[in-house]
Amino acid sequence: MSIEAPVTATAPVSTGPDAPPHPLVDFWRDFGRNKGAVAGLVVIVLVTLMAIFADFVAPHSPIEQFRDALLRPPAWTENGSWTYPLGTDAVGRDLLSRLIFGARLSMLIGFIVVTLSLIVGVTLGLIAGFFQGPVAIVIMRAMDIVLSLPSILLAIVIVTILGPSLINAMIAVTVVVTPHYVRLTRAAVMTELSRDYVTASRLAGAGLLRLMLVTVLPNCVPPLIVQATLGFSTAILDAAALGFLGLGAQPPTAEWGTMLSNSREFIRSAWWVVTFPGLAILITVLAFNLLGDGLRDALDPKLKR
Amino acid sequence: MLRFLLTRVSLIIPTFLGVTLLTFALIRLVPGDPILLLAGERAVDPERYAQLRSAMGLDRPLLEQYAIYIWNVLQGDLGRSIVTKRPVLSEFLALFPATLELAICAILFAVVVGLPVGILAGVRRGKIADHTVMGLSLTGYSMPIFWWGILLILLFSVTLGWTPVSGRIDVRYWVDSVTGFMLIDSLLSDEPGAFRSAVSHLILPTIVLGTIPLAVVARMTRSAMLEVLNEDYIRTARAKGLSPARVIWVHALRNALIPVITVIGLQVSVLLTGAILTETIFSWPGVGKWILESVYRRDYPILQGGVLLLATVVIIVNLTVEVLYGIINPRISRGR
């Protein structure tokens, strides 16, 4: 049948029914079956769009104080108005606008922390995987030390040294999460190094850098993608925790954790000021965890039924 | 076995030294001159300054300073608090039981709820029960616990008035500290109602601190059950005509527990991280709140000593878990 009708609407690379589908197609089918992961992806795309277009989406400026509307409740309650859909805080700033701009910060934190820790972690992991002996021992021991400290505690120490600010909180969180990437990369590298294709490449005369970056690294990518996705949620959560403790972003910055710490005193009088920032953190973190779980299932051949 | 034990124990020495290097560096890296920090508001004349400098050993070479630091640490001398002037170690030891009590209750909560729920999800794979458990546990795993705590206070303390907002026990009761554990001490005291008060103060912090470990235990139990339920010996047990309950609770669970126990042990680091946040929210007088307040007060000897002591706790617990794991599962200890 395929001989008689060679030119159809199908893609040129597709072949007969017996050939395995392209890995990406295969991946997408597995991924699409996981409704939670798809939902997570949708939420992440929405939050990202909201973060990028915050200036257009947000009804007000995140730091403008409406002095005639202090602690106004959300629109659907008594005394609420649609001018401030989610209400206002103690100095009359629109909560929804602050949450939208907070999304920009949180996504940025996640992106920077994940990028930095990927670069540092993969580099150290590759080195520790390729050079057995003292170099690997020193790197892995250093990572053990970092991992033996409770993460928030280490972050607090770093922020104490550098001073509390959003940038320093990001640096602290990066230091805390990097060991996971190092361990993961090293383990993947060590598995790959014993494979025949690496030996073949070596015999063909490939240099060290080529072996590292071109031959081995691409085959270590799947677990790193999963870790990076989950890394977003850790970064957002830890940075928010530091903000909550007063050691991250400083007021009046619209950061979700910082917003929460400033609103604690209104817990009895204004539930919305306390509830919504935390909900924003939870939804975003949950979305990244759902996506990470889905990616792991789709990328891990062992879990396929 | 002995060799396994010795290797494991010898491996923690460099880790411990690394942590001391970090805490040693900490006090020198924080902004501000250590002597002026110690002096606080008071002015220090140059003569006194030089005297203090040599008394604190700050004029010696860095390596020598480090050696002195290690020597002092090994003798239990972690310096004194700038604010209270009391030794850091004795302050830590006075507050640690409160943190330990909370952590133990949290892990018990996580296991008592997480284990059965994880088993249920594993056995009912793909059913509504499974989806509910997995959805809830992923939500718990994603929970910003500092917000979760505030939310629970809002609901149970402020709105319903069921539980107290903060502290370990009502101020009406005076309980002598015998063990440091309020639950035990309040039982030992003759005060009627003290135990009840202690329990009601513990409930919310336990739930908040136990939420993430609960999610981890439930997820781990489920996947361990799924793995074990596919084994041949389970099919054999079923084929023998054993009741499904016996197969699950006796045959499957015993093997599924091995990875679960490891995961529980590894939650200690998570618990101590969470303790800093939980204790802050509930004004729980433990080491987490103590360390955080030392940051606000710039009481750096406490931060330095507290970090070292907490890291030591984590290192020792992780070692114990590894050794126990080696005993339960001989394949590990004979591996290398």
Per DSSP, B158 falls in state I
Task: Report d(CA B231, CA A266) in Å as an integer.
Answer: 55
pLDDT value for B235: 86
Q: pTM to 2 decimals?
A: 0.86
Instruction: Measure the N-to-C terminal CA separation of chain B; round to a whole number of Å.
Output: 10
With an 8 Å Cβ cutoff, is B37 touching chain A?
A: no
pLDDT value for A8: 42
Residue B208: pLDDT band (50, 70, 90) is very high
Domains and CATH numbers, chain A: 33-59+93-303 (1.10.3720.10)
pLDDT value for A249: 85
B223: closest chain A residue by CA: A303
With an 8 Å Cβ cutoff, is A265 touching chain B?
A: no
A271: closest chain B residue by CA: B154
Who's near B2: CB < 8 A, 6+ residues apart? none
Scanning A161-200 for CB atoms below 8 A from B yields 161, 163
Predicted confidence (pLDDT) per residue in B35-53, tens digit: 776 666 666 777 877 877 7
Tokens of B34: 């250590």
pLDDT value for A7: 43
pLDDT at B236 > cutoff 90: no
Of B18, B144, B150, the CB nearest to A141: B18
- All residue ranges of chain A with pLDDT < 50 are 1-15, 304-305
Highest-scoring range by mean pLDDT, A114-123, B159-168, B191-200, B234-243: A114-123
Contact yes or no for A278 and B276 at CB 8 A: no
Contact yes or no for B154 and A267 at CB 8 A: yes
Please give the residue that has the higher pLDDT: either B30 or B212. B212
Cα dihedral across residues A30, A33, A37, A43: positive or negative? positive
B314: closest chain A residue by CA: A148
Predicted confidence (pLDDT) per residue in B63-79, tens digit: 888 888 889 888 888 88
Of A36, A152, A257, the CB nearest to B276: A152
**Chain B residues lying within 8 Å of A286, measured CB to CB:** 138-139, 142
pLDDT at B25 > cutoff 90: no
Per DSSP, B148 falls in state H
Predicted confidence (pLDDT) per residue in A96-145, tens digit: 999 999 999 999 999 999 999 999 999 999 999 888 888 888 898 888 88
With an 8 Å Cβ cutoff, is A277 touching chain B?
A: yes
Residue A270 to residues B144, B186, B278: CA-CA distances in angstroms?
Answer: 20, 36, 22
Burial label, A126 (beta-carbon count in 10 A; 0-12, 13-18, 19+): buried
Instruction: Measure the N-to-C terminal CA separation of chain A; round to a whole number of Å.
Output: 31
ipTM of the complex: 0.85
CB atoms within 10 A of CB A32: 12
